Amino acid sequence: MTDFNWTREQFHIPLGMIYLDGNSLGALPKMAPDRVLRMMEQEWGQQLITGWNASGWMEQPTRIGNRIARLIGAQQDHVVLGDTLSIKVFQALASALTLRPDRRVILSDTGNFPSDLYMAQGLTRLLDRGHELRLVAPEEVEGAITEDVAVTLITEVDYRTGRRHDMPALTAKAHEKGALSIWDLAHSAGAFGVDVAGGGADFAVGCTYKYLNGGPGSPAFIYVAPEHAEHAQPALAGWLGHAQPFDFDQTYSPGAGIQRMRVGTPPVLQMTALESALEVWDQVDMDDLRARSIELSERFLAGVEQNCPQLQLFSPRAPEQRGSQVSFQFENGYAVIQALISEGVIGDFRAPDVMRFGFTPLYLNERDVDEAVAILTRVMRGALWDTPKFMTRKTVT
């Protein structure tokens, strides 16, 4: 059994704050500052360039990849860290399209995150070979997987509604129609146990600063299924994805397997922070995590529905159809979120009217949920949001 009292102790949450935004940026692991400081002083400070060998910085992207593999159900040596999620989406998509050279359709849904769609649009323009990004409603994806689809590019959990796609079913349908599947796990990795190998995903990508708690700017990961690992051609051919980076060849030749998805110099400081979060993750059973996540989010949902009738549930009601967030719609949602923040409850807002609340069992418990419901109830009943200072939009919502 996972000890969620222990995991809670491993994170720093400011006094008086109830943090319901771990779906956007996870909390600071208490051991991260020491780890990063030690890395800077003892490795960077003392070893300088020799740290790449002496402290294993060069292997860090695959070492961490193997640790994340358990959380997403990937085989060992098929996950690597680097760059940002947007870049990893581009990489996966470019590779998948070259594996389906006779097809022209990239299928995604209207609930996908804009950056994923922009990457598909940019790549399509760059290739200039008549590719089409076809968008359908999330509920219509399965029926839209036809024999002209090269690749399905789907984010498993919708960033606004929290709706979760059926990965094994959609992947099976894609394969039946001869298409490849790319899964974006931005709101899945660390939200519940994913099974990319069992689900048959061809490619998967995700970020580490949301549920995984790697900190702002923590790099993304990419998974390539074993059957594609030696065939996928990386469009972003960087020197660290080369078979022999230190031969300094003038011609690119891809590295073995997942190594070829590396691009350039890895962010060592950032990955050191991420490694301290993984120390905690190593102690977490993903079935326990899912059970806790459902308990906490159901408790919140019930409390809000009972006390705040103006808020409209925007997430699926059935917990198994959600990731680890619950969203509500309200016309003045932005102002409500600002009022909540001023009372110490941190959620976030997505245009046009969606209030999001993330549930992260590693550092949240029932008491937090009950207190958050009580504060939200007070904000709604007293219309505490209805003041000009909560109406002005900040840059980051």
What's the CA gap between 185 and 324, in Å, rounded?
12
For this structure, is 113 an active site residue?
yes
Q: Return the DSSP state at 240.
A: G
Least separation in angstroms between residue 174's CB and ligand PLP is 18
The residues facing 189 across adjacent strands are 192
At 253 the three-state DSSP class reads coil
> Do 7 and 280 contact (CB within 8 A), yes or no?
yes
The catalytically annotated residue of 184, 202, 348, 368 is 184
Going from the C-alpha of 201 to that of each of 20, 119, 145, 179, 294, the distances in angstroms are 30, 20, 15, 11, 25
For this structure, is 210 an active site residue?
yes
Least separation in angstroms between residue 178's CB and ligand PLP is 25
Least separation in angstroms between residue 378's CB and ligand PLP is 31
Least separation in angstroms between residue 384's CB and ligand PLP is 30
Return the number of the residue (19 or 159) whose C-beta is nearest ligand PLP: 159
Residue written as tokens 């695959």? 62
What's the CA gap between 72 and 196, in Å, rounded?
6
Residues recorded for the chain: 397
For this structure, is 356 an active site residue?
yes
Return the number of the residue (46 or 265) whose C-beta is nearest ligand PLP: 265
DSSP string, 292-311: HHHHHHHHHHHHHHHH-TTS
- Report H helices in the chain: 4-9, 32-38, 46-47, 51-54, 60-72, 85-99, 114-127, 141-144, 167-176, 196-199, 226-229, 268-281, 286-307, 333-342, 366-381
Return the number of the residue (218 or 272) whose C-beta is nearest ligand PLP: 218
Residue written as tokens 């740290």? 51
Return the number of the residue (185 or 340) whose C-beta is nearest ligand PLP: 185
At 395 the three-state DSSP class reads coil
* Residue ranges binding ligand PLP (CB under 6 A): 84-86, 113, 115-116, 155, 159, 184, 186-187, 207, 220
The catalytically annotated residue of 90, 209, 211, 349 is 209
What's the CA gap between 56 and 259, in Å, rounded?
15
Return the number of the residue (84 or 307) whose C-beta is nearest ligand PLP: 84
> Do 192 and 290 contact (CB within 8 A), yes or no?
yes
Return the number of the residue (103 or 187) whose C-beta is nearest ligand PLP: 187
Please give the single-letter amino acid code of residue 110: T
For this structure, is 19 an active site residue?
no
Least separation in angstroms between residue 342's CB and ligand PLP is 25
Least separation in angstroms between residue 184's CB and ligand PLP is 5
The residues facing 151 across adjacent strands are 106, 180
The catalytically annotated residue of 210, 262, 292, 350 is 210
Return the number of the residue (162 or 241) whose C-beta is nearest ligand PLP: 162
> Do 254 and 95 contact (CB within 8 A), yes or no?
no
Least separation in angstroms between residue 327's CB and ligand PLP is 14
The catalytically annotated residue of 173, 262, 356, 390 is 356
Q: Count the Cβ atoms, other than its own, within 10 Å of residue 89.
A: 29
Q: CA nearest 258: which of 305, 205, 301?
A: 205
Q: CA nearest 156: which of 113, 95, 214, 104?
A: 113
For this structure, is 184 an active site residue?
yes
Least separation in angstroms between residue 204's CB and ligand PLP is 12
Return the number of the residue (115 or 329) whose C-beta is nearest ligand PLP: 115
Active-site residue set: 113, 184, 209-210, 356
